[in-house]
């Protein structure tokens, strides 16, 4: 019974909070807090970003959505507000790995001497994996990379590439609740521009399967 409980929980986390693998439609919900640092050139700002997610799964297929709620980064002489929306479809390759194809939309509002807004849209692919390390614990990881990125603020035809990864440890409290802790990093690299944007930080979460 405990082994089955652990397998269900691991599948939840490894597939972006995906629920059990059977022919019924199953649902799960997640809440995370991402304590991270936004680094651009010589500027950096730390903050905690709340992330909510929901997933529906049927058989080996799943649909997932997540939202990084409005988050403010305060620098010395300006600040930035960010909000993300993600939608993804995935497929379980086997009991330990799954792939996904998704879209991400990032809305950015910044203020220096005046307000400015931009929107980043992208499609991306990803791979999830996990393995059990104890009766009620597991480790997991996810890697994503953009296929195409468009930035409304880009005017010189430059190309941006997004990569992200998350790895961590999970603990199964019971058949409905799992806790996770890990490290997440996102990186935006623009060709022809020496300015890269990175967002490394620790992430804490809870997953609920009704």
Q: How big is the chain, counted in residues?
A: 210
Count Cβ atoms within 10 A of the Cβ of residue 42 and give its class: 0-12 exposed, 13-18 middle, 19 or more buried.
exposed
Assigned fold of 2-208: Lipocalin (2.40.128)
> pLDDT class for 67, splitting at 50, 70, 90?
very high
> CB count, 10 Å around CB of 45?
17
Backbone angles phi, psi at 6, to 5 degrees: -65, -40
What pLDDT is attached to residue 194?
Answer: 63
Between CA 107 and CA 115, with CA 111 as vertex, the angle to 5 degrees is: 75
Q: Once rounded to an integer, what is the mean pLDDT over residues 130-136?
A: 89
Question: What pLDDT does residue 19 have?
Answer: 39
Percent of the chain with pLDDT over 90: 65
Show the tokens assigned to 146.
Answer: 């953009």
Does the pLDDT of residue 16 top 50, yes or no?
Answer: no
The answer, yes or no, to whether residue 116 has pLDDT greater than 50, is yes
What torsion do the CA atoms of 107, 79, 154, 165 make, to the nearest 10 degrees? -60
**Mean pLDDT in residue range 11-33:** 65
**pTM of the prediction?**
0.85
Out of 66-70, 148-152, 199-203, least confident range: 148-152
Strands of the chain (E only): list them.
26-40, 43-58, 61-74, 79-92, 97-111, 115-132, 137-151, 160-174, 177-190, 197-208
Least confidently predicted of 12-21, 56-65, 95-104: 12-21
pLDDT tens digits for 183-197? 999 999 987 666 789
Calculate mean pLDDT across residues 108-124.
Answer: 91
Structure tokens at 184: 């997440």
**Is the predicted pLDDT of residue 58 greater than 80, yes or no?**
yes
Residue with tokens 């997932």: 64
Domain limits, the chain:
2-208
- pLDDT reading at 210 higher than 90: no
At 15, phi and psi to the nearest 5? Answer: -110, 40
In our burial notation (b when 16+ CB lie closer than 10 A, e otherwise), range 122-160 reads bebebbbebebeeebbbbbbbebebeebebeeeeeeeeb
Q: For residue 123, what are the CA distances in angstroms to 22, 65, 87, 114?
A: 28, 14, 10, 30
pLDDT at residue 6, rounded to an integer: 46
Q: Convert the pLDDT of each residue in 75-107 to its tens digit.
A: 888 889 999 999 999 999 988 899 999 999 999
């Amino acid at each position: 019974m405990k082994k089955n409980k652990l397998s269900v929980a691991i599948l939840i986390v490894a597939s972006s909070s995906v629920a059990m693998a059977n022919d019924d439609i199953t649902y799960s919900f997640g809440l995370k807090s991402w304590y991270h640092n936004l680094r651009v050139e010589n500027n950096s700002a730390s903050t905690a970003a709340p992330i909510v997610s929901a997933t529906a799964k049927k058989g080996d297929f799943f649909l997932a959505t997540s939202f990084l709620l409005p988050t403010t980064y305060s620098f010395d002489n300006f600040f930035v507000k960010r909000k993300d929306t993600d939608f993804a479809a995935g497929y379980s390759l086997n009991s330990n790995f799954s792939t996904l194809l998704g879209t991400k939309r990032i809305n950015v509002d910044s203020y220096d001497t005046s307000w400015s807004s931009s929107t980043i849209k992208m499609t991306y692919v990803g791979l999830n994996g996990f393995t059990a390390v104890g009766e009620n614990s597991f480790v997991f990881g996810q890697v994503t990379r953009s296929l195409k990125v468009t930035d409304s603020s880009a005017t010189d035809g430059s190309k941006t590439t997004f990569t992200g990864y998350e790895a961590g440890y999970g603990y199964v409290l019971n058949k409905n609740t799992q806790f996770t802790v890990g490290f997440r990093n996102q990186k935006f690299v623009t060709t022809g521009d020496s300015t890269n944007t990175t967002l490394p930080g620790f992430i804490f979460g809870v997953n609920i399967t009704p």
